[in-house]
Structure 1
């Protein structure tokens, strides 16, 4: 029970994620079969739909936009600040900070991760591991979206008696970028809203908010 309590935030989001993925699969199946029937095709089973390019492209395009959001936010907040936002470092502290501030090398604490005491490539890799992994997941999700979207797009073209297109033609097409930019703009707007609204609004007890009584101009302060 203690382990569950200490990891309750991650576990809750994991359960919500699984429920959302399952719900998307069921809702997507109904929509897909409705279109199949309207076009004179045969409905498919849930497992056939989940294994299809139509389902894969819908999942992947959302994943890549989410990880793009996290990657940009992690990297840009190293150098850019927003006065008054708890999501930003204080003005004047932009940059990678000193080894002492980051507690690496000879400044590491006794309980610091082992790689925080390393030097050279290992220290660089660990120091940038969060951004690198988020960026890698974004690239892999983007690739998965492009491959699945290419297959789904060609299936639509063939059903309309049109010739299929190459992967290169698909990723430079309006179809691909319309799907991508629809998601990107919503994620970027969400980050902008969080950064700006957290200057003036509060959520008592949340580390994503400043304390209720904190001045609007206070920066990098969690509640």
Structure 2
């Protein structure tokens, strides 16, 4: 029963693990192919996973995904899209009243413990989702920059060029090319979901309106 109640998260964690393993295997094959062309030695999957090349590929995807969620969590507090399931109804912009949010003296008996708190604990719990998404984004961005610098410097050394510093790499075309190619795809995906959920349906999905719901209905899911 517990597995069924957590099936959605378990399914995506399983897909994540399978994709990560697949990336490691495919990445090793590609890396070894390039090594042979350049006259270098091949590595095992375990050795490849420990390389900066694998780390930067993983980190750059993570940071773009968590940036997407971080921004979406925040901007949907204040911005609306009429007719979208991803938006609050018009007129409900903002953080909401304590009564609507069931915090402070309006907290219920089964509310999370910190919902009834005041001061810093109240602020922290009230913003914990956005803060966590933002923290993972920043951590992934830093990991990408460090691993990317190491991978980039490895290429420079193989070409008999001097390595560059972290600051130089963060300002380099290589770093921003890697970063922006992920950001633009994430922003497009969010915009597509927001707009397409106005007019298209997926019966039974909470990410869609009920099939017969008018296009103008906002914040309604089926």
Same fold (TM over 0.5): yes
Can you list the C-alpha shifts for 1:57-106, whole angstroms capped at 9, x where unaligned?
00000000000000000000000000000100001110001000000000
User: CA separation in 1, counterparts of 2:126 and 2:221?
Assistant: 23
What secondary structure does 1:87 align onto?
A: coil
User: CA separation in 1, counterparts of 2:85 and 2:165?
Assistant: 46
User: CA separation in 2, counterparts of 1:88 and 1:216?
Assistant: 13
2:180 alignment counterpart: 181
2:107 alignment counterpart: 108
Can you list the C-alpha shifts for 1:15-63, whole angstroms capped at 9, x where unaligned?
0000000000000000000111100101111111000000000000000
Q: What is the TM-score normalised by the length of structure 1?
A: 0.99
2:204 alignment counterpart: 205
Q: How does 1:31-180 map to 2 (within 5 A)?
A: 31-180=30-179
User: CA separation in 1, counterparts of 2:220 and 2:155?
Assistant: 51
Can you list the C-alpha shifts for 1:134-166, whole angstroms capped at 9, x where unaligned?
000000000000000000000000001111000
RMSD: 0.4
User: CA separation in 2, counterparts of 1:20 and 1:177?
Assistant: 25
Can you list the C-alpha shifts for 1:154-206, whole angstroms capped at 9, x where unaligned?
00000011110000000000000000000000000000000000000000010
Between the two proteins, the alignment pairs up a number of residues equal to: 222
What secondary structure does 2:72 align onto?
A: helix
